[in-house]
Every structure is written in structure tokens, then in C-alpha cells.
Amino acid sequence: MFKNILFILFFCSLFLGFSLLAEGVPEGGAEEVTQPTMQIEPVTVRLAVLKGPTGFGYVHLLGDGGKLGLGVTVEAEVLPSPTEVAAKLISGELDIAALPANLAANLYSKGIDIQLAAVTGEGMLYFLSRDKSVEFSRQSVNQIMDEEKFIHAPAPGSTPDLVTRYILNGWGMDRADQDDVLDFSIASPAQLAQMLIAGKIDYAVLPEPFATMAELKSPDVHRTGDLQEPWFKMTGNSSYPMTALVVQNSFAEKNTNALGRILQSVEASISTVLEDPSGAAALVEQFGILSADLAGPAIPRCSLMYQSGADSRDSFEVYLQIMAELNPDSIGGKLPDEDFYAENER
């Protein structure tokens, strides 16, 4: 019987010890045991995206009241122009924003305290012609010049301008020849697409979704060139960054865990958009980015992707170096230093 009593006492002591441990108190009862958990203070992040493909990948962040879980909420707005995004970053009204890659470098070079968190879109420039036999090649450019016609492209100093000029350089055309064949008098890509549809111009370099819009609205408009192909042949890089996601350093330093959560959600949103373009197109229209009938067929050609700022540094620097050689002002006069490229936050 005595052995039975000892066994019961031993069992009870084990039970008590395990109970105390389960409650976070060691058997001695002197100190509290804390379990490491990922804690995020409630954070509201102010995000801006642009109308057009720059905003396509973010549509799944814009629903559900912007609640991402773990205490993170997104207050998002869709802005019509890169100029407005830049102004709000400079004034501190935004914590994070998607904008053209060269503009991100330009702002940093001018002293705006931002860093590149990710690249979320690559090259999506195409040559459109009303003559399907005219492709984007050195021979065709000569033919266009012989016809005394022009290749129209949006806004000088923009990526469409500089990528086109870089390719023409690679084909041996000097600046004088380029100025004889390139026309930047129509700055808006939407207006340029309409001019092509109406037959008022014959050749254009257009980004998505305007290339798709021109094809869909006129049977006489043909996509006969992909500018990413000669870029790859000349640089060895498959593409170049067009959409940059930047974050204010002050926000990144104070909200490391929240920033990681946001970047995870951006990557997941882009993946979902690519898996279901028609569903994403409905959201694109819902949030006033573009009509669904144009967004749906354009999404597969918009080169949406996700790459962290650190991982995208090599291709980003190749792109910026080329832009700097063609037009230093397009990137703010100098290449960003290593602090521009955010470390991986996830």
C-alpha cells in the first residue's frame, strides 16, 4: 500500500509540473516563460497605384477594406499620373507607391528618402503597324524613312522613348537618323492608340494595355514587333523594369513586420491576377483602373511579376545605366547607390 501511495504522489507531482509549464510558469514558479510570437502593432499603410498596367497587379489588395491580417490595413488610392504619385511621395502623404522605374530612381537621386522594395512589372513595349508586313527591324525602319513617315512614341524621356532609341542605336542609327524617323508630338499613349486606330498615323511604339486596345478596335492595326526581343539580344537581360514599388524609409524602419506582410500580399495579388485574368479584369474596372474588356486580354501581355528590390538590382542597374547614357535627366542625373535597393524584408 505504501508503494501505491508513493506512486500516486509521484504521478501528482508530474501532473502539477506539466500544468505549471502549460501555464507558462517553470516548476520553481519564479519567472514567467514567454513564447516568441510575431507581433504586429495595428498599422495603416497609405498606398498609391496608377491607372493602367502599373496598378493591375495590386487589385487584390484594394478589396476587403484593405485588411491584410496581422493588424495591417491598406488605404489605397488610384491616381491618374506618375506626377501625382511623385508629389504625394515628396509631401509624405504616401508610405508606399507603384510608379515607373525611372521615376523611382529620379526621386531617389533628388534626395527623396525612399528605397526600392520590389519590381512588379517588366518590359511591355510593342511595335504596331497598319501594314502587317512592316516589322520592327533595321530594314523596316529604313523603309519607313524612305516613305517619309514616322514611328510615333509617347513622351520624350520616358521608357518607350529611351528603349526605342537604345535599340535603334544598336542597329547603327545615329541621333540625326533617329530624329528623322521618331515622333513624340503625341505624348499620351491613349491618344496615340486612337490616332493609330483612326488611320491618322501608320506606326507606333506602345506599352500595354494600349497596344491591345489598338489591335482590338481596328482590324487594320497589327502587332508586328516585340521590343523586348532586341533588348535581350543587345543586353543579355530578358527584360527591363517598368514598374517599381517604393517605400518611404521612415515607414520601413518603424514597420518591418508590417512591410513584410504588405510585400507578401503584393506578390500573392500578382500571382492571383496572372492565374485569373478575367476575374482580375473585373476588379480592375471596379477600382477605376481600366475597363474590364480591355484589361482582360491585356493582362497576359503586361509582364506582371514580383522580384524583391535586392534581387532585381542587377537588371535594374543595367536599365538605369542605359537610360543615363541616353538621357541623364530621366533618372535624376546619376545612378542610385546601394542604399536604394531594399534588403529582402520577408
162-174 pLDDT, tens digit per residue, is 999 999 999 999 8
**Residue whose C-alpha is closest to residue 104's, from 268, 309, 305, 302:** 309
**Residue whose C-alpha is closest to residue 157's, from 103, 98, 207:** 103
Sheet of 203-207: strand order equals: 182-183, 151-152, 203-207, 125-129, 222-226
- Calpha distance 301→126 (Å, rounded): 10
- The predicted structure's pLDDT at residue 240: 94
**Residue whose C-alpha is closest to residue 237's, from 325, 315, 126:** 315
Mean pLDDT across 303-315:
95
Report residue 42 as a C-alpha cell.
Answer: 495595428
- Calpha distance 81→88 (Å, rounded): 11
pLDDT tens digit sequence for 17-62: 333 333 333 334 333 334 334 545 788 999 999 988 999 999 988 8
- The predicted structure's pLDDT at residue 343: 80
CB neighbourhood size of 329 (10 A)? 10
Report residue 82 as a C-alpha cell.
Answer: 506618375
Helices and strands (H, E) in the chain, number of each type: 16, 12
- The predicted structure's pLDDT at residue 28: 40
> Is the N-terminal amide bond of 209 cis, ω within 30° of 0?
yes
Q: Are strands 67-69 and 72-79 parallel, antiparallel or unpaired?
A: antiparallel
- Calpha distance 222→344 (Å, rounded): 41
Question: Does 3 have pLDDT greater than 70?
Answer: no
Sheet of 114-122: strand order equals: 67-69, 72-79, 43-50, 96-100, 241-248, 114-122, 304-308
Mean pLDDT across 226-251:
95
Cell 484593405: give the residue: 66
Residue 88's Cβ-count burial label (10 Å; 0-12, 13-18, 19+) is: middle
* Domains in the chain: ranges and CATH: 43-122+239-340 (3.40.190.10), 125-235 (3.40.190.10)
Q: pTM to 2 decimals? A: 0.84
pLDDT tens digit sequence for 168-205: 999 999 888 898 999 999 989 999 999 999 999 999 99
CB contact at 8 A, 241 and 122: yes
- The predicted structure's pLDDT at residue 73: 87
Mean pLDDT across 208-214:
95
- Calpha distance 33→254 (Å, rounded): 27
- Calpha distance 71→55 (Å, rounded): 24
CB contact at 8 A, 153 and 285: no
In eight-state DSSP terms, residue 338 is G
Average pLDDT of the chain? 86
pLDDT tens digit sequence for 91-131: 999 999 999 999 999 999 999 999 999 999 999 999 999 99
